[in-house]
Structure 1
Amino acid sequence: MRLSDSHKFVFIANPRCGSTSIRAMLDPYASVRSSDPTSGSWLWHHASASRVQEGMRETGRNPEEYFFFTTIRDPWERVASTYRFGLSHSASGWHPFARDAGSPDAFVLHPEVTRRLRGFAIDAMGEDESGNMLFDEILPLERLHEVLPPVIEKLIGQPVLVRHDNTTAQTGHVFSRDASQRIEDIFAADITIGQYDRPGSKPL
């Protein structure tokens, strides 16, 4: 999360959706930077928009005066990327599940992985208790170099160079039908907003 009091924006960091790069890019303009490793804190890197708004009110800020934005990503690539990230980063909370799963399919079908991923779907990240979307802009990672610069320039009044750090290569992994359906169920709102197409599945 990056919050700017002077430029009146809040970037909500959606994991495995280019958030590391955008946080770094916004650092020079941020008044508040996510720093709390505790899930549930409004200063956690991947706190939801509603949780951040609660924290803003607690610190005397009016969220309605701020522009909220985030990113989304093709859910099938996102799950494969999360699996690969978990495998290669032993300190990641995804690591034990990725290590034990042995494949992206078994990974996403694990009940605890499913539960955690649901918490990062765009409706969970962006809606309040009444189901109202709190984001003013939702940017697809696949078009980030096209759609992000005009948003940032409008917010800070000058052009910026779009970076993409902490990347994992596209896997092109073909999920089983069950795994693909699970991903579709978890990220239904992301698929609708991003107009993502369901890829082909492995034959039974």
Structure 2
Amino acid sequence: MRISHKNKFIFFSNPKTGSESLREMLTPYSDVLDIPYRKVTKEMPFYSHISPKEVKCIFEEMGYDFDDYYKIVCIRNPFNRLVSLYEMIFRKWPVKPPFDLWLKSTKTKGKGGGGKNHDRWRMYGTYSLKNYVSDDDGNILVDKIICLENFNEDIPKLFKTLNIELPSDFKVVKKNVRSRKRKIADYYSEKSKKLVYKRYQWEIEKFNYQFPE
């Protein structure tokens, strides 16, 4: 995540949505950078993939006006995102579990993608966007949702909204872009395809995502 008290923004690092790229671009304009979850203290509670609901509570305790900040998060086609997370989790395993079996075991809230308590990137990595950015009453706590697929067009617009003048040689950063031998569609059976459509219906419909044929 990134926080700027000067430019009044909070960026939430939704796992596997291009968030590391945007974090790097926002770093020069940020007052608060994130830390690993295991290094969280009362004085520095802002860890890498902290949710908007958590930050709102912390802001209230610190005396900051959460509503006074422009709150940003990224999203990605859930079919692509889940494959990316799966490959990241099991990248060092000699034999990966079947994708369908792993996907079925995950949740869109609660334990999410599993793992240890400090593995918030894994936990939040299978959250539906609505669950990640909402409070307990279902209210959306962010102002801007940027699609990874539209980074080149939307990032410069974001900086303009934040009243940040970019240098003439500014380029959109894209980190952790990995090529795969398998196509995204090859990971899915008809059953797991339907499961994703059901679990992530809100974001699929809202952002017009399609299954990558």
TM-score tier after normalising by the smaller chain length = 0.7 to 0.9
> In 2, are the aligned partners of 1:17 and 1:73 still within 8 Å (CA)?
yes
Q: Distance in 1 between matches of 2:141 and 2:193?
A: 28
Give 1:116's match in structure 2, choosing from 91, 99, 112.
112
Give 2:202's match in structure 1, choosing from 169, 189, 198.
189
What's the TM-score, normalizing by structure 2? 0.79
Q: Distance in 2 between matches of 1:78 and 1:196?
A: 12
AA aligned opposite 1:110 = S
Q: Distance in 1 between matches of 2:8 and 2:201?
A: 30
Q: Secondary structure at the match of 2:158?
A: helix
Q: Secondary structure at the match of 2:112?
A: helix
CA 113–55 in structure 1, closer or farther in 2 if over 3 Å, else same? closer
Kindly provide the CA deviation profile for residues 63-90 of structure 1, in whole angstroms up to 9, marking residues without a partner as x.
11000011111111111111122232x5
1:161: Cα distance to partner? 2.5
> In 1, are the aligned partners of 2:9 and 2:69 still within 8 Å (CA)?
yes
AA aligned opposite 1:79 = L
The number of aligned residues is 192
Alignment of 1:134-153 (within 5 A): 134-153=141-160
Sequence identity of aligned pairs in percent?
24
Q: Distance in 1 between matches of 2:207 and 2:85?
A: 19
CA 39–137 in structure 1, closer or farther in 2 if over 3 Å, else same? farther
Q: Find the counterpart in structure 1 of residue 3 from structure 2.
A: 3
Confirm whether residue 33 of structure 1 aligns to residue 29 of structure 2. no
Q: Distance in 1 between matches of 2:206 and 2:40?
A: 26
**Which runs of 5 or more structure 1 residues have no equivalent in the other structure?**
none
Deviates more, 1:66-75 or 1:46-55: 46-55
Q: Distance in 2 between matches of 1:29 and 1:21?
A: 14
**Which runs of 5 or more structure 2 residues have no equivalent in the other structure?**
114-122
What's the TM-score, normalizing by structure 1? 0.82
CA 99–191 in structure 1, closer or farther in 2 if over 3 Å, else same? farther
Q: Find the counterpart in structure 2 of residue 169 from structure 1.
A: 179
Across the aligned residues of Structure 1 and Structure 2, the Cα RMSD in angstroms comes to 2.6
> In 2, are the aligned partners of 1:72 and 1:138 still within 8 Å (CA)?
yes
CA 161–4 in structure 1, closer or farther in 2 if over 3 Å, else same? same
1:113: Cα distance to partner? 8.7
Kindly provide the CA deviation profile for residues 13-59 of structure 1, in whole angstroms up to 9, marking residues without a partner as x.
11110011111111111111111414998512111111111112222
